[in-house]
Structure 1
Amino acid sequence: MTKISEAKLTKGKIIPQLIKLTLPMILGMLGMVIFNLTDTYFIGKLGANQLAALSFTFPVVLIINSFTQGIGIGTTSIISKYIGARKNNKVKKIATDSLILGLIISVLVFILGSLTIRPLFSILGASGVILNYIEEYMTIWYFGSFMVVIPMIGNNIIRSLGDTKIPGLIMGLSALINVILDPMLIFGYGPLPILGIKGAAIATVLARAITTLTAISILYFRENIIYFSKFKLKDTFKSWKQIIYIGIPNSLVQMALPLSSAIITKILATYGPNVVAGFGVATKIEFFAMSFIMALNSVIGPFIGQNLGSKLFKRVNKGLKFGELFSLITGFILAIILSTFAKNIAALFNQNPEVIKTVTSYLLIVSFTYGLQGILKIDSTILNVLNKPIQAALLIFSQTFLIYLPLALVGSHLIGVSGIFIALSISYLISGFLAHLIVQKNFNLYKKNSLKKVS
């Protein structure tokens, strides 16, 4: 069993340690992106209508995932600081109560989601046969929502302990199972029937079921971190209050992207289903590209949290600077690669000229601000650990609703589809610089207040 009191992330050389933590998560993140790209690839073989249907589901699935991820990150922020402060009982209590909260969330998602499929996606602009395909897919996805929610929270708990290998393996295992099951269930290999887009949804649920069992087993048997002895509802409510204080604003932060994506999808729907399909492909390629930066983002929170809990402020500052520099360098490399091979990458998913044109335009314009997008995400995570979730939420909402969407409406009117993508780049450019300044200010203030308490 892992000794929680060790607070492993408070010792050792910082940059090698962060790289060591990030590498398994890169594989895990790539696995999850491959998971999504596999669905996109095989559903794209069914036709443009099925691909457009999947693109319509993407913002809604992201909103649910984002809410869950917000709860997970809130849990990580609290647990990592308790580990740094050597408060082991509180670590176990928060971990257990966060999983109970996740179970409640998954039940609500199933009930509310199943009842609102057709009206919700009609509002987003779907109609006719595309709406039918969406209903086939989301009916199954909502049924298996428990398998999406629990491992997200579980993996965040494991990462907060300083273990990134297991979460990386869990995510990679999920992707592998999905890669195997997708073509079998979509196209009906051997004795299996041809299920089409339903098959992709079933493959997703089955793959997630394996990862759910794995994550729960690790937390219960190896880490011994889940326990229900001396259970008191009053204490559980206190835990939920702590989690929700950071988790809800952070969930709103996480939701900003899919919410804006839903609005942009509705705008793009006026240009036709092929443009919507192209946008869906482009955003999934972006998820693949950004997985390197997001892998670091997934470990920077536990690292900062454990060191804040131990009041090791020099380590916090060095970790913060490394995260931002890593994002800028990685973002630049990605931009060069994607802008050079944009058309070839787009053609892998669909041969429709309009789909390829949309994907290519997106990658040529947006990829050069990936570094600043990464800084925005990393610094938002750090703000949550610094117990400033409201500022993190305001930062992301400003990027999305005060800069991106207004400029996208103007850009769409003046330039067309490219104008929407230019607006996104401008929003990342401005908000990335703002994020850097805000985090520096709040870290210095946190450090000053902590030193005052000690003296």
Structure 2
Amino acid sequence: MGLPMIVSMMLQAFYNIVDSYFVSKMADTAAVSGVGEYGVNALTLAFPVQMLMIAVGVGTGVGINSLLSRSLGEGKREKASKIAGNAIFLGLCTYAVFLLACICLVPAYLRSQTADPVITQMGTEYLKICTILSFGAILSMIYEKLLQAAGRTIPATIAQLAGALTNIILDPIMIFGLWGCPQLGIAGAAYATVIGQVVTLVLSLLFHHTHNKDMDASLRYIKPDRAVIGEIYKIGFPAILMQALMSFMTYGVNIILGLIGSSAVTAYGVYYKIQQFVFFAAFGLNNAIIPIVAFNFGMKDKRRVNDGIKYGMLYTLIIMLAGAVLLQVFGRPLMSVFTLSDNTMNLCITAIRVITLGYLFAGANIAFQGIFQAFGSGVRSLLVSMIRLIVVVFPVAFWFTAFQNAEHVVWWAFPIAEACALVVAVLFMRMAAKELHLTEESAMH
């Protein structure tokens, strides 16, 4: 189950990295020099909103995934059908909220991070397209979770792959105006992204109706059921908050790094999109840990619950270690594909050298969060996330901005935060093992 989910999550990371790559290659105009770096900066400032959409979709999906897997494990087909129908209803409601928020708040949101009119204009143009047409992104995540919860990970991955390839093909065509297409610049990157997301949605919807025979896909189940929605959000709401913390962290870090300079903001944006390949691989495995542990927990099979915990943690740490080594070795070649100033490039490399030192801590935290979610303990997962993303990072990073060499030391805030969160996660795991009467092996691993 894990490998297709890992591929799926890494393909999601591809959307933003491909946009940033082609945007960085945009040519200067008579009025503006360094258009490519301005564009990357605009994407960096817009990124927290895109992450927030992912947070709501994925967080709701976590509740769906855990609850649906447990219901299927208990053989409750009718309840599973209601969960699937209400999941689709919640996806439609989520899109409506983001549509209204976009119309009202996008310009003010961007002005809160920068006073540069060029960056604000480019960011507004990109973000409005991505949010107004975000139904593809949000609903495709819902259908993906319905497929994953039932063990249909290959179809979910095929849908993600098709969308990512569509985005990759359309990006240069629409940004640079190739093959008769108008030259749309940064707006072209946005249109390519949303078209790719719609392709993923169409295929995911098709696969759901043709492959998910464990539940009834009838439209009558889309009717909202207060009890089912309550159960989904009992698990999913803390997960939404947990995922939203990533968006809030990026927004807050953008503001803090802005105290150092715009080059630091751009460097963080480029680094963050590169690191997503590693972190999204770990999150993909996390998405496999949740249904496997939840399914066997529903069947009261303690041995398989313990195995899910043990090997889920082990494989997550292997992924993070491999990612850290690869970024340490190939960080400069990876960053060199973007058209950036020398100062921004050097800051990107510094960020890689420092932040990757905390990847093993981060991997353990991600695995623990999935384990807690599988047990229905979303609050513990949320607390670990708050510590690693907000509680430690903000004050430490802000403190480092007062240093004379702030642009080099500020990156240490991230591994410090991961180490602090791991201490708390281990304590929570020991408490959970006692409460759920698991073996000592679960607490130790």
Query: What TM-score does the superposition give when structure 1 sets the normalisation length?
Result: 0.90
The yes-or-no answer on 1:57 pairing with 2:46 is: yes
Name the counterpart of 2:91.
102
Once the two structures are TM-superposed, the CA of residue 423 in structure 1 deviates from its matched residue by: 0.9
1:360-384 deviation digits (Å, cap 9, x = unpaired):
0111001121122122122112212
Match of 1:229 in 2: 220
**C-alpha deviations, 1:123-154, integer Å up to 9, x for none?**
12253111000111111111211111111111
Q: In structure 2, how many angstroms separate the alpha carbons of the residues matched to 1:77 and 1:447?
A: 20
What aligned pairs does 1:49-448 form with structure 2 within 5 A after superposition?
49-224=38-213, 225=215, 226-229=217-220, 233=224, 236-414=225-403, 415-447=405-437
Distance 1:230 1:247 in 2: 19
- Deviation, structure 1 residue 63: 1.5
| Other structure's SS at 2:93 match | helix
AA aligned to 2:6 is: I
Corresponding residue for 1:4?
Answer: none
1:70–1:247 Cα contact (<8 Å) kept: yes
Counterpart in the other structure of 2:31: none
For residues 388-434 of structure 1, the C-alpha deviation after alignment (integer angstroms, 9 at most, x for no partner) is 11121122112233211111111221241233210111111221243
Is the partner of 1:267 in helix, strand or coil?
A: helix
Q: Is the aligned partner of 1:28 residue 2:3?
A: no
CA positional deviation for 1:65 = 1.1
Q: What do residues 211-265 of structure 1 show as CA deviations (whole Å, max 9, x unaligned)? A: 11111112223325422337765xx111111111111111110111120111110
How has the CA–CA distance of structure 1 residues 436 and 156 changed in structure 2, closer, same or farther, with 3 Å as cutoff? Answer: farther
Q: Percent identity?
A: 26
Q: Which secondary structure state, in structure 2, belongs to the residue aligned with residue 394 of structure 1?
A: helix
What is the CA–CA distance in structure 2 between the aligned matches of 1:282 and 1:228, rounded to whole Å? 43
Instruction: Give 1:43's aligned amino acid.
Output: V
Compared CA separation, residues 433 and 171, structure 1 to 2 (3 A): farther
Whether contact under 8 Å (2:88, 2:222) holds in the other structure is no
Contact persistence 1:56–1:126 (CA under 8 A): no
1:140–1:201 Cα contact (<8 Å) kept: yes
Where in structure 1 are there 5+ consecutive unaligned residues? Answer: 1-20, 450-455
Residue pair 1:375, 1:436 contacting (<8 A) in 2 also = no
Query: CA shift at 1:288, angstroms?
Result: 1.2
SS of corresponding position for 2:436: helix
In the alignment, the residues of structure 2 paired with residue 428 and residue 448 of structure 1 have an alpha-carbon distance, to the nearest angstrom, of 26
SS in 2 for 1:189: coil
Judged with a 3 Å threshold, the aligned counterparts in structure 2 of structure 1 residues 376 and 150 are, in CA distance, closer, same or farther, namely same
Mapped to 2, the partners of 1:305 and 1:129 lie a distance apart of: 49
8 Å CA contact 1:48, 1:274 repeated in 2: no
Contact 1:49 1:273 in 2 (8 A): no
Q: CA RMSD in A?
A: 1.7
Render the CA deviation track for 1:90-141: whole Å, top value 9, x for unaligned. Answer: 1110011011011011011011112111111111225311100011111111
Give 3-state SS (helix, strand or coil) of 1:116's partner: helix
**Distance in 2 separating the partners of 1:335 and 1:128:** 37
Aligned 8 A contact 2:59 2:240 in 1:
yes
| Greater shift in the superposed pair: 345-354 or 82-91 | 345-354
Residues 67 and 255, structure 1, Cα contact 8 Å, conserved in 2: yes
Distance in 2, Cα, partners of 1:142 & 1:231: 24
Normalised TM-score (structure 2):
0.92
Question: 2-side partners of 1:332 and 1:63: how far apart?
Answer: 27
Taking the aligned partners of 2:299 and 2:183, their CA distance within structure 1 comes to 56
CA contact (8 A) 1:154 1:216 kept: yes
- Kept after mapping to 2: 8 A contact 1:174/1:208: yes
Partner residue, 2:33: none
Counterparts of 1:379 and 1:156 in 2: how far apart (Å)?
Answer: 20
Which amino acid is 1:379 matched to?
A: F
Deviation at 1:448, TM superposition (A): 6.2
- Aligned 8 A contact 2:136 2:197 in 1: yes
1:71 Cα deviation after fit: 0.5
CA contact (8 A) 1:80 1:161 kept: yes
Rounded Cα–Cα distance in structure 1 between residues aligned with 2:230 and 2:115? 38
The 1:332/1:232 distance shift into structure 2, 3 A limit, reads closer
The one-letter amino acid of 2:346's match is: K
Q: Which runs of 5+ in 2 are unaligned?
A: 27-35, 440-445
| Residues 1:230 and 1:143: Cα distance change in structure 2 (over 3 Å) | closer
